Structure formats: structure tokens, C-alpha cells
Structure 1
Amino acid sequence: MNKSILWQATCLLMAALPLTGNAQDLPAATPASSNVQLFNGPKDFKTWSIGVNGGVLAPVAPTGGSNDFSKWKGSAGYGGYVKYQILHFLALRADYVGGKLQADNSKALGNGSMPVSPYESYETKLKWSGTLNAVFNITTVNWLFRKNFVLLYGSVGGGLAGYSPTLTPTGGGSTFDYKADGKSIKELIIPVGAGLKFRLSEFINLDLGYTMYYTDGDNLDGYPKPPNKDKYSYGYAGLEFALGTKGKPQLQWHNPAAATYDELEAQKKALNTALDAANQNNARLAADVDKLTKDSDGDGVSDFFDKCPGTPDSAKVDGSGCPLPVPVVQKEEKVVITEEDTRIVKEAIQNLEFDFAKSSIKPHSYAALDRVADLLKRKNLNLKLSGHTDNVGSKERNLALSRERAESVKQYLVEKGVNASKIEAVGYGMTQPIASNKTAAGRQKNRRVEFTIF
């Protein structure tokens, strides 16, 4: 069988495989699950990958035939790529391919005659080729399975190739380079390809592909022979390695259509379950409503919670249905503050002194404070202590000192038996002077603790 026909048939078989096979026969396909997350962008997936491959290079393409020699030969080729998956169905891939191309004129033409050519054969070293391709995943959307085991893809792009043809003359003679200076030819190339990819794991894919390269020149075989430009093809098998955080799936295998459908189905199922449960709860609540609302004695508390059934209609009850205690009206005792009481307080204010810049009370002030404590206990009076300072020092320190001195007096009185709840101690710092702070006498008056009884 003709090698060209065999090669083309192989490529067509590879392209037709996912169209003729039943998706349910794919062993590694994952059935849809209700535990589905909708697509939130590529951040939740592996998007970068690298691939290496090896295969056969041939100076022929299924669309365009062979070049200017009658019999082409397959030669080893190799390549690699870096790919970024933009969306489920679209990726950008940078490819590199190298190897060699061979052909000769040993095969008869279609009319049975041998080709007439000044060259017997050629060999072209494909030193390198670099292309940027758009890759389209054709079978990403599958309504039966969220993660396919196999997908069909196509690619198209553009780039450059560097190659050096070596020719062998017809009738014998030494081979020679097409370019006498030995430099590589650089030509624009247009790659068009297709392939099958098999998901082996979340990290590794098996990649089978076939790409046709159309050059923008007629010098690939070293024999310019218009009107057709030269072309070549590369059939390969390789491995693709997904890069990214462990645990993240590959974006190219994600099926947004099936995931959305499964999510909606899961929500519908959950809603139906919730509705069934709500209907059952409503039925139970309806059966208990009479029990919870029946109030035989009319006190406003249902029999279910009433701990004191049979209370009179006029009785006021608490939350458990029991009568509330009748409040006892206490007679308020009026407190009269006499001139003597006022004198005792005034004497305490006049005799109250503290150590310099401190809140400790000097001992000679104790006697007057003891008489105030006796007054408060005897008549059950309330007392407000207001601490004040002059303007010497910082505002913050004076405020703290005034409060500390008022609290010091309160603490002394409490230690003498006065109820602490009857005494309020506050500090105003230097905000309420009663004399000028410009004189020593005025500042002395401003450094005080005022007593207010009531």
C-alpha cells in the first residue's frame, strides 16, 4: 500500500475516533455528580502545561500532496511546547519542532513515466521551527460527563522555520548544499493541525497529533519548481505535563455545560427535599397547635405551660401562669439636711489636705472626715465628691490627679463604714477653677475636693 495513503488514513482514523465512539464506553470518564461548583474563572484550575513529543516528519501534506520529488520518505522528528489554557475550549501554544525531511525521484509518475528532474534526491535538515498556535478543544462540552477521558482538538497559527536542503544530482555526482554559504533558509510557515488527547491523570496527558506546515516558499526541497509552494507534516505522540497547585484540575478538561446542568439539578433536588421536610413539619405543627394554645382558665398562659391552673380571671400571672406577688408600698422617709450637717461638711472641706502632687490624705484631715462618715451613716445620705486642680502641669495629669484624690476620699469613708453605693467620686482636673490660677492663693483655692450631700 502507498505510504502516503496509509499515512492519511491513519490521520483520518485519529480524527474520527471521538465521533464514532460512544462516550459511555470510555473507561475513565467521570459520571456527573451533584457536588458541583460553578465555573469561577481559571484561578481554580491548572492553566499552564508543557509537552514533549517525537514522531515522523514527511515532505507531504494530505491537502496539497508532496513537493517536487515523486517519492517522499518519513524521518524522525522531535518537538516540545509550552501552553496556556485561556478558556475551556481555547489555549495559546508555543511549539518547537526539529528533525529532517527526505525524498527522491525513484517512483514513477501517474502516467507510468519516470520524473524528469536535474536532481535524484534531497535531504533537508529542519534545524528548528517556532510557531504560536491557537488550540481549540472541540469536544470539551459534553452533557453526559463533566470530565472527558479523551478530547479532540484543532490548531492553527504561524511562525518561522529554519532549514538547509542538500541535493544529489541525477546521474551521479557529489551532493551539495542548496545555499553555497551553508546558512539556513528562514521562511514563514502556517501550521494547521488536529489531534487527540487522553487524560491519564490530573497531571499527565497522552497527546497524539498531526500538523501540516505550509511554507511561504518553494525551497524546502532545494528545487524551486512553480507553481506550488512546498509543505511538510509532522505526526507525533507525546506527553503533556500540567503545571500548578496540587489538587487543582486541568482547565482544558473542565466541562462548563455539564457542570452547570448538574448544579441546577442538585439545587432542584435539594429544594424538593426541603419542601417535603417543610410539609411534614407543618403537619406536625398543625396537630400540636390546639395543645399549645388551649387556655382553660383564661389567664393568657396555655395549659401546656400553665403551672398554676384555675387562677381567677382577675389575677395577674407570670409566664408560668402563677399569680404575681402583690407589691408592698414602702413609705419614703424624707431626709432633712440641717445647718449642723452643712457645717460638718464645710469643716471637712476646709481641713482636707493631700501630700504634694499625690492623692494620699494628710493625717490631720482624718478627724473632720470621720465626722462626715458618721453623718452619712446616721442619716443615710448620699455624697458626691468632685476633685479639682490648678493649671500647673499637663491637662491629662491634672485630670487623673483630681479623680485619684476624689477616689481617695471615697475609699477613706468606705473604710469607715459608709455604703460605697452612696458615694460618687469624679474628677474635673483644671476645667472648673473658682479663683485665678495666676496667683499662689488662687491656685491654692483651685486645688480642692468639693463635698455635696443629698
Structure 2
Amino acid sequence: MKSSSFFRAACMLALFAPLCTLAQTTVNGPIFTDGPGYRRWSVGINGGLLAPVAASGGSNDFTKWKASAGYGAYIKWQLLHSLGIRADYTGGKLAGNNDRKLGNGDAPGRALNSFETKLKWSASVSAVVNVATINWMYKKNAVQIYLSGGGGLAGYSPKISTQLEGGLTKYSQNSTIKEFYVPIGAGLKFKLSEAVNLDLGYTMYYVDGDNLDGFNYGPDKDKFSYGYAGLEFPLGKRTKPQLSWQNPARVMYDELAQQKANLQQELEASRAANVRLTADVDKLIADADGDGVSDYFDKCPGTMAGAKVDGSGCDLPKDTTPKQIITKVTITEDDRRLIKDAIQNLEFEFAKSSLKPSSYPTLNKVAEMLRTKGFSLKLGGHTDNVGSATRNMALSKDRAEAVKQYLVEQGVNASKIEAVGYGANQPIASNKTAAGRQKNRRVEFTIY
């Protein structure tokens, strides 16, 4: 007897399962279900008309039904923006009779004349799914279409009258009959303000019994419906929005648009930084007048091509002293040892071409040797392979130029010194280890 109602309940759960699953799989971020940021609880009251008939399933065991006053209340918890759990209470009266003739014009010919059932109470728990919103392109909606389905228990007392007696008598000696039922409903909700919503709905109740009207006519079980209008009041601070009115698709769109704008700003900032870095590199390696001194260090730009200049790029004073003819250049072991010490003590600022003061003492000795003995010197700058090839080539050239500039400032003839940068092209050790990379970062001195 109860199997058909359980079958109806199973069918409705199967109907709502895809909607609930869609809501759960689609909602994946705090912009949809940020609990502390939304109001989830609400209560509602409503009033309307009860009738022993359902839009899907027809009437009960009497040919004519009557609409009677009904009332209800509920409390709801919004789980997701499109899914809520609602506990309902409904009460009122159901009535009907056999005054309406059959399709062939004959009287029903049934033993009972009319019934009246007092619906003392009915309590149910339902899932409420928001299936559509009217203004879906806005973050906050104002109109909703929803469906509901669940299960509950009703307590009622039917009274019946026969054709002969005419008066209403109790259907059962029990004061109240209790039956399980499945409520299936739909509704339209309007947001009037942050404090109240207008709720218009219609719910069909499929009872697991044929005793709602006091007449076991069969074969179908009884049902009734409730059309209502009511008010819903969200609980919590009004500064927090109601979760059920949030539009996650629109919020996601705005979030993605903001992320795109942020990425665009970061890209523009990166491009500006690259432009500045390129300008700095060009400034370090540019030599417009071709005097061997970078424009960045050149204090006398525009000198004649091929002119002898000092480390700051300015013309050297003319040498009026008689030139000594050096017939032979001899490089001693002391000279080689001095060059070796200068290489070992040579240090630069990290990732820069600036000499550290610790390099000055040995470089001063090298400068004195070059001045007194007239040697020529070739400076070869080298780096490890960390960084881009262009940057390494520029850094190796700048470091060799920095050593040349210092020696020239100590009185060495600039034309006697050649500064060359090789970048990372001539390693003397493996770049796979820190020790190897340290050896590769060097400036080689070659006297002749």
C-alpha cells in the first residue's frame, strides 16, 4: 500500500539530484558560498487556500472539491546560492462532496455525500532549488523561480456524511490519523528589500494513504494542494547580502575581468622595466666618439677619432719630452708574479663593473710597472654562464674597461692598454658548480 508513495519520492529525488549536483560542482570558490559574508537563515509565514486536489494527479474520492483557508510557516537554511533546505509547517481545512455529476450526466451514486478534514498539522523537510533568475546578468537578483521536493508527516481528522443521515460523523475513533506524504512544489519569489521577500507558491502533497477524505474509494491514494502568498524574513545583519539572491555567474565574470586587468597591469610594468634595463645596458656599452671610453664614463664627448685620451675620455696633454727608443722589452719573473697577484686580488662589486677598494694596492703596482717599463697590457674580461649572453658580454667588457680606466687614471698611457670582453665564451672551469663559476668570473692580464 505504501510502495507507490515511496516510488514517487524516489522519482522526485532523481529529478532534483542533477540540479543539486550541478549546483555543487559549479560552485567552487568563496565568491559563491562565502559563509561569513552572506545571510543563510530565513523564516517565512504564508496564507492561502487548501484543496483536496492536485494539479498533477487529479482529485480524490469525491466529485467536487472546495477551497478552504490554510496557513503555514517555515524556516530555511541556504546551503548554496541555488540550493536550500526548508522545514515547513502547514495547517487548515479540506472539504468536498459528491454534488458534481459524472461525465455521462448521472449522479455519482456513492454512499457518502460529503467530507470535511481538519489538517491539524503537517511537517516536512524539503530541498528548494533555484532553477531560474530573471535578471541573471546582475550580481544580485530580484526575481526567482524555484522548485521544491521532500518528505513529511501529516496529522488530520476527517469527518464524513452519508446520503441518508446527512450529518458529519467521525471517520475513525482515533482522534488524529498520521500519514507520510511527499510534498512537490514550485514558486515565484520577489526581493522587496534586504529585510523581506514576497513568496508566491503552490505545493502538491501526495499522501501515503486513502483516508484523507474518510472514503477508501481506490485505487489511487489521496492528495491535496496548497496555493499561498507569504513573506520571508532573512535573519542576520542587513549589511550582509542574502546568499540566495547572489548570481555566481555574474560574480565570476567580474572576478575574471578584474584578474585580467591586474595581469595587464603587471605585463605593462614588466615591459616598462625591460625598456629601462635595455636603456641602462645601452648606456654602459655605447661609445659615440670611438675613443675607447664608454659614453657613461666619458667626461669629454666628441673627441677626435683616434685621439689619445685618458680614462675619463679627455685628450691627453702632448708629450714634449724626447722619446726614448726601447730596443728590447724584457719581462721578468717578478713582473709576472706582480701580474698574477693583481689578478688574484682583483674584486668587483656584486653583478657590477665597479672595482672594490681592495683591488687598488696591486693595481697601483701594475700601473707603476707599466709607466716605468713601457709594457703594453691586454685586459680580457670573462663571466660565468648565469644570465643572458648579451648581459654577460656587456658585463665582461665593462669590467675590463673599469680596470683600464683605473690604470689610466694612475698615469698609464691609454693607448698601451687594450680592454676586451669575452662574456661566458672562454670558461676555464665547469659552470655547473659554484667553485667553477667563481673561477670563470675573472679579468686576465697579458703583458707584452
TM normalised by structure 2 equals 0.55
Q: Distance in 1 between matches of 2:246 and 2:173?
A: 53
Partner of 1:313: 311
Structure 1 counterpart of 2:55, from 62, 67, 71: 62
Structure 1 counterpart of 2:198, from 202, 206, 216: 206
Q: CA deviation at 1:262?
A: 2.5
Structure 1 counterpart of 2:261, from 259, 265, 269: 269
- Work out whether 1:120 is the aligned partner of 2:110: no
SS in 1 for 2:259: helix
Aligned pairs for 1:123-134 within 5 A? 123-134=116-127
Q: Is the 8 A contact 1:60 1:67 kept in 2?
A: yes
Partner of 1:219: 211
When the two structures are aligned, how many residues end up with a matched partner?
Answer: 290
Which range moves more in the overlay, 257-266 or 113-122?
A: 257-266
- Work out whether 1:50 is the aligned partner of 2:26: no
SS in 2 for 1:269: helix
Which range moves more in the overlay, 261-270 or 101-110?
A: 261-270
Q: After superposition, what is the alpha-carbon deviation per residue over 1:193-228, rounded to whole angstroms, capped at 9, x for unaligned?
A: 111112222332211111100111111111111211
- Work out whether 1:196 is the aligned partner of 2:199: no
Q: Distance in 2 between matches of 1:228 and 1:151?
A: 34
Partner of 1:178: 171
Q: Distance in 1 between matches of 2:33 and 2:98?
A: 58
SS in 2 for 1:267: helix
SS in 2 for 1:145: coil
Partner of 1:78: 71
Q: CA deviation at 1:293?
A: 7.5
Q: CA deviation at 1:158?
A: 0.9
CA change 1:160–1:106 in 2 (3 A) is same
Structure 2 counterpart of 1:247, from 223, 231, 239: 239
Q: CA deviation at 1:265?
A: 2.4
Matched to 1:121, the amino acid is S
CA change 1:143–1:273 in 2 (3 A) is farther
Q: After superposition, what is the alpha-carbon deviation per residue over 1:108-139, rounded to whole angstroms, capped at 9, x for unaligned?
A: 11111111122221111101000111111212
Q: CA deviation at 1:278?
A: 5.0
Q: Distance in 2 between matches of 1:108 and 1:40?
A: 55
Partner of 1:422: none
SS in 2 for 1:271: helix
Q: CA deviation at 1:168?
A: 2.6
Q: Is the 8 A contact 2:32 2:80 kept in 1?
A: no
Q: Distance in 1 between matches of 2:57 and 2:31?
A: 45
Q: Is the 8 A contact 1:45 1:248 kept in 2?
A: yes
Q: CA deviation at 1:245?
A: 3.1
Rg comparison, structure with higher value: 1
Q: Is the 8 A contact 2:135 2:142 kept in 1?
A: no
Q: Is the 8 A contact 2:94 2:119 kept in 1?
A: yes
Q: Distance in 2 between matches of 1:141 and 1:197?
A: 11
Q: Is the 8 A contact 1:37 1:259 kept in 2?
A: no
Q: Is the 8 A contact 1:140 1:254 kept in 2?
A: no
Q: After superposition, what is the alpha-carbon deviation per residue over 1:248-275, rounded to whole angstroms, capped at 9, x for unaligned?
A: 2222222323322331122223323443
Matched to 2:263, the amino acid is L
CA change 1:177–1:37 in 2 (3 A) is closer
Identity %: 54
Q: Distance in 1 between matches of 2:55 and 2:167?
A: 33
CA change 1:112–1:93 in 2 (3 A) is same
Q: After superposition, what is the alpha-carbon deviation per residue over 1:123-157, rounded to whole angstroms, capped at 9, x for unaligned?
A: 11101000111111212698633322212111111
- Work out whether 1:260 is the aligned partner of 2:286: no
Q: After superposition, what is the alpha-carbon deviation per residue over 1:415-443, rounded to whole angstroms, capped at 9, x for unaligned?
A: xxxxxxxxxxxxxxxxxxxxxxxxxxxxx
CA change 1:125–1:141 in 2 (3 A) is same
Q: Is the 8 A contact 1:86 1:92 kept in 2?
A: yes
Q: Is the 8 A contact 1:141 1:256 kept in 2?
A: no
Matched to 1:46, the amino acid is R
Q: After superposition, what is the alpha-carbon deviation per residue over 1:391-425, rounded to whole angstroms, capped at 9, x for unaligned?
A: xxxxxxxxxxxxxxxxxxxxxxxxxxxxxxxxxxx
Partner of 1:388: none
Matched to 2:231, the amino acid is L
Matched to 1:261, the amino acid is Y
CA change 1:134–1:40 in 2 (3 A) is closer
CA change 1:134–1:39 in 2 (3 A) is closer
- Work out whether 1:147 is the aligned partner of 2:140: yes
SS in 2 for 1:275: helix
Matched to 2:50, the amino acid is L
Q: Is the 8 A contact 1:191 1:211 kept in 2?
A: yes
Q: Distance in 2 between matches of 1:254 and 1:226?
A: 47
Q: Is the 8 A contact 1:42 1:87 kept in 2?
A: no
Q: Is the 8 A contact 2:190 2:197 kept in 1?
A: yes
Q: Distance in 1 between matches of 2:134 and 2:285?
A: 58
Q: CA deviation at 1:167?
A: 1.8
Partner of 1:110: 103
- Work out whether 1:93 is the aligned partner of 2:86: yes
Q: Distance in 2 between matches of 1:202 and 1:173?
A: 53
Q: After superposition, what is the alpha-carbon deviation per residue over 1:11-31, rounded to whole angstroms, capped at 9, x for unaligned?
A: xxxxxxxxxxxxxxxxxxxxx
SS in 2 for 1:39: helix
Query: Alpha carbon RMSD of aligned pairs, Å?
Result: 4.1
Q: After superposition, what is the alpha-carbon deviation per residue over 1:35-82, rounded to whole angstroms, capped at 9, x for unaligned?
A: x97336433221111111111100000121111111111111100001
Unmatched tracts of structure 2, length 5 or more: 1-28, 304-308, 314-353, 361-448
Q: CA deviation at 1:190?
A: 1.0
Aligned pairs for 1:280-295 within 5 A? none
Q: Is the 8 A contact 2:61 2:218 kept in 1?
A: no
SS in 2 for 1:147: coil
Aligned pairs for 1:237-386 within 5 A? 237-276=229-268, 278-279=270-271, 302=296, 313=311
